[in-house]
Structure 1
Amino acid sequence: MATDTPTNPGRRAALLTVARTAGTATGLVIAYYLLPMDQPLAAGTTAGLALGLLAVTALFLWQVRAIVRSPHPQLRAVESLAAVATLFVLLFATSYFLLERDTAGSFTEPLSRTSALYFTLTVLSTVGFGDITASSDTARVMTMIQMVGGILLAGVAIRVVVSAIQAGVRRQREKGP
C-alpha cells in the first residue's frame, strides 16, 4: 500500500473530481435521452426555458459558494463549471426538441434529441455549420437567448468562478495547516 505523502490527498481529490465530473455529465446526458418528452409543452416551452435558466443560475450561485468553502477550490471550480455548462446545454437542447415537436418547421429539419443537442452545441460553440437553422421567430428568439447566455457563461461566469477560486485559496491560507 502506498504511503501517504502530501501530494496523495491532492491527487485523490483530483481523481475524485474527474470521476464526479464525468459521472455528472454522463448522468445528465443519459437523463436527457431517457426522460419522457412525448408531450409537447406548447406555450410552456418558453416558460420552462425561463424557469430552467433561473434554476441554472441558482445552481451556479450555489456552486460559487461551494468553491469558496472547498478545501480544493480549483478542483471544485472545474466540477462546478462542468455541471452548469452541461445543464445549460441540455436545457436548450430539450427546449429546441420540445419546440420542434410542438411547432413542426421551427427548424430547417425535424429535430431528434441528438440533432437538438447537436444544434445547441453548434450555437454555443459559435461554429454554426448552417445545416440546422432556426426557422420560426420563437426558435430564433430561443437561439438568441442561448447565444447571450453562452457569452455570459463564457465571460461573466468564468470571471466569477476565478474570483471564487481566489477567495477560496485566500481562505485556505488564512486558515493555515
Structure 2
Amino acid sequence: MTKFGHYVRGALVLLGGPVLMLVVWFTVPLQIFGPHNPVLSWTAFAVALLGLAALLLRQIWAELSGRTDRHPVVGISLLMVASMLVFATCYLALARDQGQFSGQLTTRIDALYFTVITMATVGYGDITPSGQEARSMVMLQILYTLIFLTAGATSIGRRTRIVIGRRLGHEPPDGPSRTP
C-alpha cells in the first residue's frame, strides 16, 4: 500500500469508526444493565473500563516507542470514543435507579450528553449526580479522563507534531538530554 493509501485508510477508520460505534451503541439493547441486575452491570462496566484502559496504555506505549507499523493515533481515538460510550452506558443504567440523578437523564442522548459534559468538565448543571453511586461514577470518569484520555490526547498531539515537522523538513527532537 502506498503512503497516501495508508493515510486515506487511517482517515476513513478515524472518521467512520466513531460513526459506526455510535450506530451500534444506539441500536444494541442496553436494558439488561441497571439496578435490576447490579452484579452483571458492575462486572461488565469494570471489565470494559479495565480493558479499554489496558488497550489505551498499549496504544500510547506504541506511539511513545515510535512503532510506526500500526496506527496508534487511530487506535487511541477509537478507544477514547469507546470509553465515552462505556461511561454513557453506565450513566444510562444508573439513571434507571430513582435518586441517582436530578434532571433529565432518560435517553441515550441524555447519557452521552452528560458523559461529554463531564469529560469536558463543563457541567451545565441541568443534570447532576445526586446519588452516591452516580457521584462515584462521575469522580471515576473525571479521574479516568485525567489519566488515560489526557495521556492519549497528549500522544496524539505528539504524533501530529512529529508528522507535521517531518513534512516541513524538520526532524523531531530525540527528547530531553540525559547528560548531567
Q: What TM-score comes out, normalization by structure 1 length?
A: 0.75
Q: Which one of 130, 133, 141 corresponds to residue 136 of structure 2?
A: 141
1:115 aligns with 2:115: no
Partner SS, residue 128 of structure 1: coil
| Equivalent residue number for residue 13 of structure 1 | 6
Q: Distance in 2 between matches of 1:26 and 1:47?
A: 26
Gaps (5+ residues) in structure 2?
167-180
Higher RCO (C-alpha 8 Å, min separation 6): 1
1:1-177 to 2 correspondence within 5 Å? Answer: 9-42=2-35, 43-44=38-39, 45-64=41-60, 67=63, 68-71=66-69, 76-101=71-96, 103-108=97-102, 109-158=104-153, 162=158
Matched to 1:105, the amino acid is G
Partner SS, residue 83 of structure 1: helix
Q: Distance in 2 between matches of 1:121 and 1:141?
A: 17
**Higher mean C-alpha displacement, 15-24 vs 149-158:** 149-158
Report the identity percentage: 26
| Equivalent residue number for residue 170 of structure 2 | none
8 A Cα contact 1:59 1:84, kept in partner: yes
8 A Cα contact 1:104 1:110, kept in partner: no
Q: What TM-score comes out, normalization by structure 2 length?
A: 0.74
Q: Distance in 2 between matches of 1:61 and 1:125?
A: 21
Q: Distance in 2 between matches of 1:85 and 1:145?
A: 15
Q: Distance in 2 between matches of 1:155 and 1:64?
A: 11
**Higher mean C-alpha displacement, 118-127 vs 154-163:** 154-163
Gaps (5+ residues) in structure 1?
1-7, 170-177
**Higher mean C-alpha displacement, 114-123 vs 27-36:** 27-36
8 A Cα contact 2:88 2:114, kept in partner: yes
Cα shift at 1:158:
4.2
Once superposed, what is the RMSD of the aligned Cα atoms? 2.7
Partner SS, residue 26 of structure 1: helix
